[in-house]
Chains A and B, each alone.
Chain A
Amino acid sequence: MNRRQFLRPRKIVPSTSDLNTTAEGNNPEVKKRTNSGLSKYSGTWSDKERMHLLRRTTFGPSMTDFKSFQSKTMDQCITALLDTSNLSIAPPVNNYQNRVQDPNVEYGKTWVDAPFDTALEGVRKNSLKCWLWSIGAEGTGTIFEKMWLFWHNHFATEMTAVPSASASYYYFKALMDNSLGNFKALTRAITLDPAMLYYLNGRLNTKNAPDENYARELQELFTLGKGTDSKFTEDDVKAAARVLTGFTIDFRTTPFSSLFLPNKHDNTDKEFSDFFGNTVVKGRSTSTGGYDELDDLLDMIFSVEEVSKYICRRLYRYFVYYEIDSNAESNVIEPLALIFRNNNFDIKPVLETLLSSEHFYDTWNQACLIKDPFSHTAGYVKQFKPAFPSNTEYENLYKAYYLGWAYSTILQMDLGDPPSVSGWEAWYQIPLYQRFWITSDSLPKRNEYQDYLLWVGYNIGTEKLLVDPWTLTVQFNTPSDPNKLITEATQFLLPFELSNDQIISLKEVILPGGIPDYNWSDDYQAAIDPSNSNHSTALTNITLKLKLLYKAIMNLSEYQLS
């Protein structure tokens, strides 16, 4: 065996057989991982479990997030994460006044209810994307930002295909307002959402020229999925398209709203296949007939058990791991789907059960998610807290957000513009799933982003967005002890316990050539004590060493995991 072979980690073994593998569970070929299920987790509740919970449900997390959890029990932590009732997210604002004049919106005021203006929609969309990223970077301390991202990926629309920035804002607002609410209500809201009516051509779907686009995705992507137990037919797509005829966008209102036009609606009966029990959605010719038929259509679709299972699988892939073996299917997905159905598709009870389950804290399921680019770029900022321009300097503040959004985009996640109606490949494309995020192109750029904000900084006018390594360091308990610093920093930044060799290499970064520990401690004390005669030299030295240490930790492949 040559050296390189030896150094290589063991070969990645594909865990699914090549032929006849299904994209959705139910596959006996998949090797068994763990038997744990949804029973309530009753094991050790230490900082390790708290960090696992936070890593999966927030970006980063930040030190503030972590410290607020340290005194809490598991139930208290989960209650806090799922309580979004007090959140109020201010809408995006005019940050563009110095580039383009907006006759209707003052600098720093929101444009979301301003009249449609072709000349301004581009800069408004830019403002919207920066704002989306900022919600992740600022963090709410709850599961909120993870959940609206989940729904954005699930009910994907692309801003480039929606002319109105305001329509896209209200699409996101619908996702945010319902992100922990009721899935069926969210599906109804999105069906009638003007951005979606744009995106999947619902606005053009009329009785004389039915357009199947939304009707297909409603079933294939939004509710039933494409698993082996999802057996809707092409005729079901056509029948659903006919149910949805007549809905369009009312361009007379500001912002645009949805509208039902009875004379464009196909008011004949729509018969569905035996997969839907040959249900007939009765044709209506009343002024609100379309809404009634939509409700019948959703009742029919949601009566199929596969809907609850499909959504639970998607949540599982998002919060636990992408591979769903037969154990996970029967011990997690099926009982979780039952809870979903029993709660009439309320989302919260499902999350509550999953996040407090044995399965979720099973060591098998820890540290195995690859961070998506939004989580990576925003999470980094939450961990290191570089100083952002003040929140009245709108132009500069949004420039800082823009950097994060732009890097997320370079890393293949353009918030607001997923690659297609299927969302991002990482959450559906077998067999790679999340490995899509890590390529020979993106991995170097992830490192570049980390290093850039740590070493170079981003110039914004006279200010600079730059990580000060002390911001994080002073929050550790014993940073003056080099060993404890490394332990605390790696436990905070990485989901993995490092090997001795890795720890030794990290120590070599701050104490090269085996210099004794007290050199660090002495210099550290001098660096934080302005009265010390050695203060200035020590401060320079320790600042540099801290940057080197954080760079080395984040350059580890482990940093990409969550």
Chain B
Amino acid sequence: MKRRSFIKAATASTVIPVALNGMQLRSVNNNALLKALGKRGASDKVLVIIQLNGGNDGLNTLLPLDQYSNLSKARSNVLIPEDKAIGLSDYSEIGFHPQMSGLNNIYNNKKLNIIQSVGYPQPNFSHFRSTDIWMSASDSNKVLTTGWMGRYLNEQYPNYPDNYPNSTYPDPLAIQIGPLVSLSFMGPNTSMGMAITDPSSFYELLDNSSGNVPSTPAGEELAYIRILAQQTNEYADVIKAAAANGLNKSTKYPVSGGRNTLGEQLKIVAKLISGGLSTRVYMVSLGGFDTHSAQTDSTDTTLGNHSALLAHLSQSIEGFQDDLELLGISDKVTGMTFSEFGRRIQSNASGGTDHGAAAPMFVFGDAVQPGVIGNNPSIPSTTTVNDNVPMQFDFRQVYASVLKDWFELNDAEIKNILGTDFNTLPIFKNNISGIDDIAEYMTQISLRNVFPNPAKNKTIISFSTDGGGNLSLVLYNAMGNQLYTFFNKRFSAGTFEHELDLRGFSPGNYILQLHSEMKSCTQTLQILN
């Protein structure tokens, strides 16, 4: 561990407990002591999840410019011209899509954290299955019927919906702006979320029926509808009040394209938060990312369907962050994007891209540590239709980081929610690992060289770690499936060489990934006959 990191970590872990006189941070919640320390209590914090439905093409969203020549071989008909991408101010090899100046502004204002190549092992290419995996935070081959936010809220507010709303928790726990509540909010008993389309208008429900329902499937369905009716009426009042109280101040939102656009949805969220609603989690969405064909304009790849979506996304987030700042509530809100998958490296003949694997995620807000986590994906010099961007980070590492460093849960609680321990990432300034400088963090390990490459029976890799620690080297196939772990052991600081036995692997493109606890780096490897 670097000295500076060590100091930061020591500060974080000693000073606050002393100030709190030994009290557990979380149990204090939203109390005056934390406020006196100038910190929000966890129960005051809001997470806004932005779903990009359809599978967003990460490679045209955040361009790995150092891979440009290989990219242009693989996807010339959709690729953004190199000089049109907006290079990041501190990493010129990474470029935003030209329509994403809004997100670039947030990056320059040091309120955006980008996590490269987020996915999960054994990627699934079905929209609905992969959406479920992201929303339920399950392993690829497991089906979970509850959502990660539903489990979080259930942990914080057990027994919901019994006795909710009540005087301590008068407001909905989670709100989806839209007509449906997603799996993300599904708790063990019922959905922890509420769907609204218009916060100032609700049609009153008049069913006052009481008494027991039969213990039959019909009784279960009836009970579900009755509870929902009662809660809807009660929550409708507080939502209407918050909508009437709240306001929007930013002029940076996209010009309205109708009632249900992402920009309009985020306006509602800002209004409700500023109106005093204490709802913990919001979910909004933007659809249309399933760009199998006509992803870009055929003559100008900076225009077209995907470009319009990214422009709207970027402007909406910029407007929302600006609004929160103008309203003086930006310290209590973090936003996060996700999509069920990225798209293939190689484009198709229909001017589009097919279902793929990993893609970048964006986390924004006052509390995030600005910067980029992870490396540019490396693009093979020759690709087939099956080649995918391999994951560098599991999306559940992002979730774990949100739960730990934003919602301030402890490791046991996080494990309850996510099922397994996941290493957190330094997404937030107050991250428990105490890593405050992503640039340092990024140079911690590197997979320097693979030679020969292409290789036949063996190849030699060289790698380095400047902090030492546990390292593993994993081989993935082009589809992103984990095949083999060459080693998994501790190394001291230094540079090493290691010979890899490649016998038994069929010819083709592979990905080698070196993982430490906190990061990973990637090289492509081609195995010959």
Binding site for B on A (CB under 8 A): 2, 4-16, 18-23, 33, 201, 204, 206, 208-213, 216, 220, 226, 234, 321, 323, 363-370, 410, 412, 420-422, 425, 428-432, 434-436, 438-445, 447-448, 495-496, 499, 501-502, 505, 552, 555-558, 560-561
Q: Please tell me if the beta carbons of B218 and A496 are within 8 angstroms of each other in the complex.
A: yes
Contact between B220 and A12, CB atoms less than 8 A apart? yes
Q: Which 3 A-B pairs have CB atoms at the shortest separation, nearest pair first?
A: A209-B349, A444-B203, A431-B145
Which of B179-187, B295-303, B318-326 makes up part of the contact surface?
A: B179-187
Whole-angstrom distance between the Cβ of A511 and the nearest chain B Cβ: 18
Find chain A residues with CB under 8 A from B348 CB. Answer: 204, 209, 211
Q: Report chain B residues within 8 Å CB of A22.
A: 143
A23 touches B143 (CB 8 A): yes
Let me know if B189 is at the binding interface, CB within 8 A: yes
Contacts of A428 in B (CB 8 A): 128
B25 interfacial by beta-carbon distance below 8 Å: no
A204 in contact with B205 (CB, 8 Å) = no
Chain A residues in 8 Å Cβ range of B350: 201, 204, 209, 211
User: Is B163 an interface position by the 8 A CB rule?
Assistant: yes
Residues of B within 8 A of A420 (CB): 127-128
Within the complex, what minimum Cβ distance (angstroms) separates B439 from chain A?
A: 39
- Chain B 215-226: CB-based contact to A (< 8 A → 1; otherwise 0): 111111111111
Given contacts A13-B220, A208-B349, 6 further A-B contacts (CB under 8 A): A9-B210, A9-B227, A14-B145, A323-B217, A440-B231, A555-B206
Nearest CB in chain A to that of B190: its residue: A12
Mask, B115-152, CB within 8 Å of A = 1, is: 00000000001111100100000000011111000000
Given contacts A2-B163, A20-B142, A499-B211, contact A447 B203 (CB under 8 A): yes
B423 at the interface (CB under 8 A from A): no
Q: Is the CB of A496 within 8 A of B222?
A: yes
Q: Could you show 7 A-B contacts with beta carbons less than 8 Å apart?
A: A10-B223, A12-B227, A13-B220, A33-B217, A444-B203, A505-B208, A558-B222
Does B197 reach chain A (CB closer than 8 Å)?
yes
Question: Among the listed B190, B220, B226, which residue makes an inter-chain contact with A557, where contact means beta carbons less than 8 Å apart?
Answer: B226
How far, in angstroms, from A439 to B129 measured CA to CA in the complex?
Answer: 22
Of all chain B residues, the one with the shortest Cβ separation from A220 is B126
Name B172's closest neighbour in chain A (CB-CB). Answer: A440
A98 to B144, CA, bound (A): 53
Contacts of B128 in A (CB 8 A): 420, 422, 428-429
Q: Are A561 and B162 in contact (CB under 8 A)?
A: no
Q: Are B207 and A439 in contact (CB under 8 A)?
A: no
Task: Write out the residue numbers on chain A whose beta carbons fall within 8 Å of the beta carbon of B220.
Answer: 12-13, 15, 368
Query: B146 to A367, Cβ gap below 8 A?
Result: no
User: Which residue of chain B has the shortest Cβ distance to A440 in the bound complex?
Assistant: B232
Q: With CB as the reference atom, state the residue of chain B lying closest to A2.
A: B163
- Known contacts A209-B348, A420-B127: does B229 contact A368 (CB below 8 Å)? no
Most buried by B among A7, A22, A495: A7
Q: Select B179's contact among A13, A412, A435, A495, beta carbons within 8 Å.
A: A412
| Assembly CA distance A421 to B127 (angstroms) | 9
Residue B479 lies at the interface, judged by CB distance under 8 Å to chain A: yes
Interchain CB contact (< 8 A) of B218 among A8, A15, A366: A366
Q: Which residue from chain A places its CB closest to the CB of B350 in the assembled complex?
A: A204
Q: Are A368 and B225 in contact (CB under 8 A)?
A: no
B221's partner among A4, A234, A364, A368 (CB-CB below 8 A) is A368
- In whole Å, how far is A558's beta carbon from the nearest beta carbon of chain B? 6
In the complex, B212 has a CB within 8 A of chain A: yes
Least distance between A362 CB and chain B CB atoms (Å): 10
Cα distance A441–B191 in the bound complex, in angstroms: 14
A210 CB to closest chain B CB, in angstroms?
7
Q: How far is the CA of A201 from the CA of B293 in the complex (A)?
A: 8
Max chain B Cβ within 10 angstroms of own Cβ: one of A6, A428, A443: A443
- Are A445 and B142 touching (Cβ within 8 A)? no
Complexed CA–CA distance, A18 and B143 (Å): 8
Among candidates B179, B188, B206, B219, residue contacting A18 with C-beta atoms closer than 8 Å: B188
User: Smallest CB–CB gap between A443 and chain B, Å?
Assistant: 6
Q: Are A9 and B217 in contact (CB under 8 A)?
A: no
Are A444 and B180 within 8 A (Cβ)? no
Smallest Cβ-Cβ distance to B234: which chain A residue: A4
- What is the CB-to-nearest-CB distance from B264 to chain A, in angstroms, rounded to a whole number? 15
Shortest C-beta distance, A451 to chain B (Å), equals 8
CB–CB B218/A210 < 8 A: no
Give the residues from 481 to 514 in chain B that come closer than 8 angstroms, CB to CB, to chain A.
Answer: none
A432 to B192, CA, bound (A): 12
With a CB–CB cut-off of 8 A, which chain B residues contact A430? 132, 143, 145
Q: Is the CB of A443 within 8 A of B221?
A: no
Whole-angstrom CA separation of A211 from B355 in the bound complex: 11
| Interface status of B52 (Cβ within 8 A of chain A) | no
> Which residue of chain A is the closest to B232 with respect to CB atoms?
A440
> B229 and A443: CB pair below 8 A?
yes
B195 touches A441 (CB 8 A): yes
Question: In residues 144-175 of chain B, which contact A (Cβ within 8 Å)?
Answer: 144-146, 161-163
A310 nearest CB across to chain B (Å): 15
Contact of B354 with A557 in the complex, beta carbons under 8 Å: no
Identify the closest chain A residue to B221 (Cβ). A368
Min CB–CB distance B367 → chain A (angstroms)? 30
Residues of chain B within 8 A of A323, CB atoms compared? 217
The answer to whether B202 touches A234 (Cβ under 8 A) is: no
Which residues of B lie under 8 Å from residue A213 when comparing CB positions? Answer: 292, 354
Residues on B with beta carbons closer than 8 Å to the beta carbon of A2 = 163
Pair A365/B194 contact, Cβ less than 8 Å: no
B228 & A445 in contact (Cβ 8 Å cutoff): no
Bound-state Cα–Cα, A364 to B129, Å:
30
Choice from B125, B186, B216 contacting A368 with Cβ under 8 Å: B216
* Residues of chain B within 8 A of A367, CB atoms compared: 218, 221-222
Q: For residue A363, which residues in chain B have a CB less than 8 angstroms away from its CB?
A: 216
